[in-house]
Structure 1
Amino acid sequence: MDAIALLELCNYQIVFPQAQTCCGQPPYNSGEASPAKDVAWHTIQVFSDKKLPVIVPSASCAAMIKHHYPTLFDTGSTEHKQAIELSSRTYELIEFLEPILPYNKQSDSSHTHISLHRSCSALREMEVAEPWLSILRKLDGVEVSLPTLEQECCGFGGTFAIKSPEISAAMTADKCEHLLSPNPQSILSGDCGCLLNISGHIKHSGDKRPCTHIARFIAQRFGIQHD
């Protein structure tokens, strides 16, 4: 809903196809190409209106659609051509918002200190790490800290956290230590899986600082919500 509120703030009318499902990343990352292909084809059909940009509020899901869908289909096939077409108009949410957000409409400019987790997908697949940082630095009153060893994974990695829980937990502990080291008031990210992983570890440790999606944080600073 925060994503919708921000897009509406930028004068976009939102179309939300009710038939959309998971992007298919879980089976794809588990080596199950056939079910991943089925989900991809369903998604391609659901978002078949070629006039509209497709905005995805999670970098890993955006990367699945933009970069991995075309690899699931035979080159030159109708499905492959349609996957490439969808890829060409798919954007990660913060990347899309950063150049068009009306920053002068910000209602809350009180000082706050956040620590930003820029995910593996943001850094390497979608290459949207800079827009994540830029949009926050353009907000009045927001102090942004980046963790040391930022390039390291938070330990989620989709099914990796389930298949290798001990390794994942150790990686998450390291990431949380680095994120909390600057003593921020909250932690932000634009990847939902990372947020679930990081917030779970922090809450389990007894720390009550919130872990929030960048879109929610920005919507709060602008004092908006979707009706």
Structure 2
Amino acid sequence: MRALRVLLIVVVILGALFVVADRVAVHFAEGEAADRLKASENLASTPDVDIKGFPFLTQVAGGSLDDVEVGIASYQADTGKPGRTIRIDDLKADMKGVEFSGDYSSATAATATGTATIAYDELLKTAESEPTEVAPGVTARITGLSDGGNGKIKVAVQGAVSSLGIKQTVSVLSSVSVVDNKVEVHADSLPSLAGAAIAEDRIRTITDFQQAVDRLPGGIVLDKVEAAQNGVRITVKGSHVKLAG
């Protein structure tokens, strides 16, 4: 009986040591992966990397991690226009089936899904903010974007009749969608500005616009987009996504 108790104590101690070693190893691996990702994506701050699953060491032995979550506080995505980027906030991605090299210099996920936010003031930079003539003597421009509820964006449009010195700001609800890896804003109905007769194609040059969001981390791309309280919430996806290397 005493020998059995001793054996059980030894098993418990060895199990505890294995758990400690496993947690130390996963903490080291998360730090290495975060540093590699920061360098490869030229990030301003170190991202969060959370390797899921237990035990970690058996996953390492198999050369593949089941589930890795990555969090990037801020990322400058490409807009397709030279020298111009758009800020993506709070990017969270869930990577599945991550294969990696022994020194963590390269890692590729079989699939990835995630979410992020583009603030309204950031998206507004892509809209027509300079007064543009939409009818003889009538100019218009977008002055603000906000949450319109039910997945819609509220677009504030200011119209002006120069000859009368009249300025008027109206709001229109717009749908937002993903088209060819671009965030597209399209007015559901068109505003009437200062009672002027304005052709639809002219006013839509102001109310409707697109913003490309390219070169996201690891090659993920836009999937869906929806208006939310603080900005548009985007959903991203990808396959053979590179975390590093």
Task: State TM-score, norm by structure 2.
Answer: 0.23
Q: Which has the larger radius of gyration?
A: 2
Task: State TM-score, norm by structure 1.
Answer: 0.24
Higher strand share: 2
Higher relative contact order (CA 8 A, sep 6+): 1
